[in-house]
Amino acid sequence: MASRFCLLLVVVLFAVAESAPNSPVLGGWSKWKNADKSVNEICKNLQPEVESTLGRYFSPFKALTYQDQLVAGWNYKIKVYGGVNKLVIMEVHQNLTQYDSLTDVTVFPYPNANF
């Protein structure tokens, strides 16, 4: 009896998960999505901190794609175009009061990048 209940529970949970593919899963990263206005706003707010941390100036500084993760707030991984041949990867935490904090940043050479 218990094994039938467990099997039924697994089937129901799988069906619910499949019926809502775009809903956030607590702790899970989303698929990569095209950056929108709110993600570019995060980048704009944190650009001075990114430049200070890396000791480099970036122009332009435009978000390309991002992933998000629902936690106590949101975590973001954001790929940012930082000018010719520069790709900046930002990791950001946005707490429940919408305060953005930079948790990690790296710049990579991105050959032939000129968007």
Domain chopping of the chain, boundaries: 24-109
Question: In this structure, are residues 101 and 93 in contact, taking their beta carbons and an 8 Å threshold?
Answer: yes
Confidence of residue 16 (pLDDT cuts 50, 70, 90): very low
- pLDDT exceeding 70 applies to what percent of the chain? 74
Could you give the CA distance from residue 45 to residue 102 in angstroms, rounded to a whole number?
A: 10
Instruction: Round the CA-based radius of gyration of the chain to a whole number and report it.
Output: 19
pLDDT (0 to 100) of residue 7: 45
pLDDT in tens, 33-89: 999 999 999 999 999 999 999 999 999 999 999 999 999 899 999 999 998 889 999
Joined tokens for residue 100: 């953005």
pLDDT (0 to 100) of residue 113: 58
Confidence of residue 110 (pLDDT cuts 50, 70, 90): confident
Hey, what long-range contacts does 94-98 have (CB within 8 A, 24 or more apart)?
Answer: 94/42, 96/72
CATH class of 24-109: alpha beta
